Amino acid sequence: MSPMGFAVHRQARYEEGGSLYDDDWDSYGDMPPRSRPVPIWLCVFLVISYIIAGAFLFARWERWEFLDSAYFCFITLTTIGFGDFVPATGVKANSEVSIALCSLYLLFGIALLAMSFNLVQEEVIANVKSVARRLGILKEEEIDD
């Protein structure tokens, strides 16, 4: 049952032979899609690329130095926000457009960071559980959810 009280049907089923299968497994071989984690290096690469792209954008839009722009992107996306760099503080004719574009960049960036942190957290937890099973600290489970 879901938290809302509706019945939830799982996609994974057991074959007659006893193995677990799913309709979307053809591209994954014999491994379920949930067991294939996103590599940590890919998450780190995406986050660094997004910060560097934002640094180039803000260096051009706000006429800041590149390192100042990268600092602003990192501090703002990690929600630290010291306030020492603020976009559209200079007198501009199109400051509303600048604020709107900055807001979109930050909205998608914070979502990207949250997703990346969640994926890295799941990978670290899976690795710790694997080590704990090998050491005998945790029991072997038939199916992890």
Give the 3-state secondary structure of residue 52: helix
Residue 22 reports pLDDT greater than 80: no
Q: Select the more confidently predicted residue: 51 or 38.
A: 51
Residue 34 has a pLDDT of: 54
Mean pLDDT rounded to a whole number for the chain: 79
Element (H, E) at 112: helix 95-135
Q: How many angstroms separate the Cα of 103 from the Cα of each of 6, 19, 46, 81, 99?
A: 37, 48, 19, 14, 6
Instruction: Kindly report which listed range (27-31, 33-37, 58-62) carries the lowest average pLDDT score.
Output: 27-31
- The ranges assigned to domains in the chain are 40-135
Q: Which amino acid is at 82?
A: F
Residue 74 reports pLDDT greater than 50: yes
Q: CATH assignment of 40-135?
A: 1.10.287.70
Greatest CA span in the chain, whole angstroms? 71
Q: Select the more confidently predicted residue: 12 or 100.
A: 100
Q: pTM to 2 decimals?
A: 0.69
Residue 29 reports pLDDT greater than 70: no
- Residue 73 CB-density burial (10 A; 0-12 exposed, 13-18 middle, 19+ buried): buried
- Residue 110 CB-density burial (10 A; 0-12 exposed, 13-18 middle, 19+ buried): middle
